[in-house]
Structure 1
Amino acid sequence: MSYERPQDDPPYSGTPNPGPEPTRYPLQPGYPDQQPAYGVLRDNSNATVSLVLGLVGLCTFVLIASPFAWWKANQALREIDANPGVYNNRGMAVGGQITGIIGTVFLALFLIGGAILVFVLLAASTT
């Protein structure tokens, strides 16, 4: 009794097909032993800080916080783009970037207006 293999089956190579390689998330700097669980995304703290600074800058007119919001948002976006599938709050980073840009523009206009006012007052006081 012998078994004859049908002609259309590929020959057995001796190693099973393992399928696609499982996805591993890249390790974060400073956390060498802590790997996020499969499918669990975490928040980027720079994105949260940038949004808070941007909103503080716009809502309380403490405009000096706005350039820092813009800077932290750019850091967060670089980290999020460098590690896809690790962070889930890219929208917060974009919001922090937008509020930081708007606040920085207001700050620049305020500083330029203040400088013009100083020059006008100095010119008026010398005559």
Structure 2
Amino acid sequence: MTNTPPPGYQPAPYGFPQPPHPEANSAMIFGIVGLCLSVMCGGIGVFIAPFGWIKGKRVMAEIDANPAAYGGRGNAQAGFITGIIGTIFGALYLLFWVAYVIFIIVMLVVVSEDTSTTTFDSVNAMLGRI
């Protein structure tokens, strides 16, 4: 992509907003949806939030490279930031769920082991009353 505007394009005079970058809103939507899914749905947003992060970073770089052609940097920045936060929360939730499943498996293995003495029998054996 070149930094030159299309033929016949006139930059807006000072004080008038530039047209938003075509992908700025989609970066913001990916970031916000990813963050919401990460927080409310147990980490599922970790699969969506990185798209907002990556797309927001790319769109901000394009807007910074040619500020006379595009606006909407705030939306791209919102997608970038919420994408980072959504990815972190989603990864933490996924780590929690993996640790939880491992804990349940370990507890099932421990409970399924056959022991011939109960806790009460062990206490009596230690006290010498058997």
- For Structure 1 versus Structure 2, the TM-score category normalised by the shorter chain is 0.5 to 0.7
Change (3 A) 1:117 1:82: same
Amino acid at match of 1:53: F
TM-superposition CA deviations, 1:9-38 (whole Å, max 9, x none): xxxxxxxxxxxxxxxx9326xxxx545323
How does the TM-score come out when normalised to structure 2?
0.66
Taking the aligned partners of 2:31 and 2:76, their CA distance within structure 1 comes to 10
Contact 2:53/2:82 (CA < 8 Å) preserved in 1? yes
Give the % identical residues.
Answer: 33
Contact 1:51/1:95 (CA < 8 Å) preserved in 2? yes
Change (3 A) 1:85 1:38: closer
Taking the aligned partners of 1:79 and 1:124, their CA distance within structure 2 comes to 53
Contact 1:46/1:75 (CA < 8 Å) preserved in 2? no
Contact 1:70/1:97 (CA < 8 Å) preserved in 2? yes
How does the TM-score come out when normalised to structure 1?
0.68
| Structure 2 partner of 1:126 | 109
Change (3 A) 1:37 1:117: same
Q: Does 1:48 align with 2:31?
A: no
Gaps of 5+ in 1: 1-24
Change (3 A) 1:49 1:85: same
Taking the aligned partners of 1:118 and 1:79, their CA distance within structure 2 comes to 43
Structure in which a larger fraction of residues adopt helix: 2
